[in-house]
Amino acid sequence: MANVEIDRVLALQQANVWKMKTSTAAERKARIIRLRDRLLAAGEEVAEALYKDMGRPKVEMPFDVQNSIDTANEAIEHLDEWMAPAPVRPNIQNPSVKAYIHYEARGTVLILGPWNFPFHLCVEPLISALAAGNSAVIKPASMAPATSAVLAKIVRDVFDESEVAVFEGSSDVANALLEKPFDHVFFTGSPKVGKIIMAAAAKNLTSVTLELGGKNPAIIDDTADLDEAASGIVTSRVMNNGQTCLSIDYVLVPEARKKDLIDKMSSVIKELTYTDGKFDSTKTGRFIDDRNFERVKGYVDDAVKRGATVAFGGASSPNELTMEPTILTEVPADAEIMQDEIFGPVTVVLPYSTIGDALSTIQRHGKPLGSLVFSTDEAFVENFIQNTTSGGVSVNSWAGHYFDGSLPFGGVNGSGIGSYHSIYGFKAFSHERAVWQRGVTKVAA
């Protein structure tokens, strides 16, 4: 049944491809404005759904809805300039020669959403896809069914199926969609599933954007403001219960500053997540399911068995799927928690003696989605940038490179392929078509 319905919708969208591709900036803006206006009224229903799915504190709702509205407003404001042909200086110097890049919509695109931010991380790429002139099929995460249902309702309220459609359901639905010849696939999720998506897309030679993850490091030097560092690191671990692709997995800090950092991180955790002197899980949310709770608890238990110390937190409730934000120290390099992305409210603090040792540790952990540096020393920051790799780097502010739309956001290899946000999202859903012409002039009507 799912296959029949998918084929029906895909046929509608493919029949509408040229209307969408050749749509004017005004027509594309009109679609985005319809979506934005619906989002303006959606705050409460989205917040309720996220609370039902993940126990998300309603105070975090602006991340999902307001960020989506901001994305829409930026596209509306700048779409004319994004769509304009980009002139290129031709190598052949001839007055009659002209070269430029024409941004052509890819066609019909598939957006596969994640469960950790199941609303915003479907809506944001959708806005980019619409700005570029595409039709879209969205498959929200089945692990967040309440949010998936709200998203599907919003899309039905705003769009005809020939423009945007939503398919809810299990991984079987996602697999059925991946068999179809979409013109681009945009996926946000884990590297493990990213490999499956890329392999499936390859069967149709479909281009992909993969927004994945990794073990994101933070490094602190002797010049860093520890209050600023503690606040940024803890925020990354408290937001959405640490189930955030840019959360900091481990922190490298000079040995002499380790205790001060842990004390300050502990204070920030209490400030953000405690009520009347006790951990209050309503301020953090819960794990999405039993499997992820047991996975992260298993990381902590394994680390402790191998000699790690719980410097703060550690309490958890399997019935409520909650865990107090936890700080681990003396964690050996072979501990399970140092091999995989944590995706939960646990932070490892590792002391270092020399910058060379710290950089070697980071280099051993692949290519993460983001890195975080706390330092006022320009030479230290530059040394870090030159000797590490990641999708992006933020200095003295957690996730600055994510929230600033002037920059492309994406990973590298295991943490992702391609990037988006702002004009980079428009380009991700566009084919950069090279145009070279000679002897072309305007003909009088």
pLDDT along the chain (445 residues), means of 10: 89 98 99 98 95 89 88 98 97 91 98 97 99 99 98 98 97 96 98 97 98 97 98 97 97 98 98 97 96 98 98 97 98 97 98 98 97 98 98 97 94 98 98 95 78
Supply the pLDDT for residue 62: 74
Convert the pLDDT of each residue in 282-303 to its tens digit: 999 999 999 999 999 999 999 9
Catalytic residue (choose from 163, 211, 324, 341): 211
Q: For residue 102, what are the β-bridge partners?
A: 433
Nearby residues of 297 by Cβ (< 8 Å), 6 or more positions away: 316, 318, 323
Catalytic residue among 122, 163, 245, 341: 245
Strands 346-352 and 250-254: parallel
| Partners of 2 in the β-ladder | none
Provide DSSP, 291-353. Answer: HHHHHHHHHHHHHHHTT-EEEE---EETTTTEE--EEEES--TTSGGGTS---SSEEEEEEES
Q: What is the pLDDT of residue 1?
A: 56
pLDDT value for 113: 98
Instruction: Confirm if 289 and 143 have CB atoms less than 8 A apart.
Output: yes
Query: Can you give the pLDDT at residue 353?
Result: 97
> What are the φ/ψ torsions at residue 266 (nearest 5 degrees)?
-60, -40
Q: Tokens 């979506």 — which residue?
A: 35
State the amino acid at position 144 in one-letter form: A
Instruction: Enter the pTM of the model.
Output: 0.96
Bridge partners, residue 188, by sequence:
211
Residue among 118, 120, 164 nearest 12 (CA): 164
CATH topology of domain 2-212+415-438: Aldehyde Dehydrogenase; Chain A, domain 1 (3.40.605)
How far apart CA 190 and CA 295 sit, in angstroms, is 15
Q: How far apart are CA 418 and CA 188, in angstroms?
A: 11
Is 245 a catalytic site residue?
yes
Per domain, the residue ranges of the chain are 2-212+415-438, 217-403
Quote the pLDDT of residue 356: 97
122 is catalytic: no
Task: Indicate the fold that domain 217-403 takes in CATH.
Answer: Aldehyde Dehydrogenase; Chain A, domain 2 (3.40.309)
pLDDT for 359: 98
Alpha carbon distance 400, 379 (integer Å): 20
- Which among 126, 138, 107 has a CA at the least distance from the CA of 18? 107
- Which residue is associated with the tokens 């502010």? 397
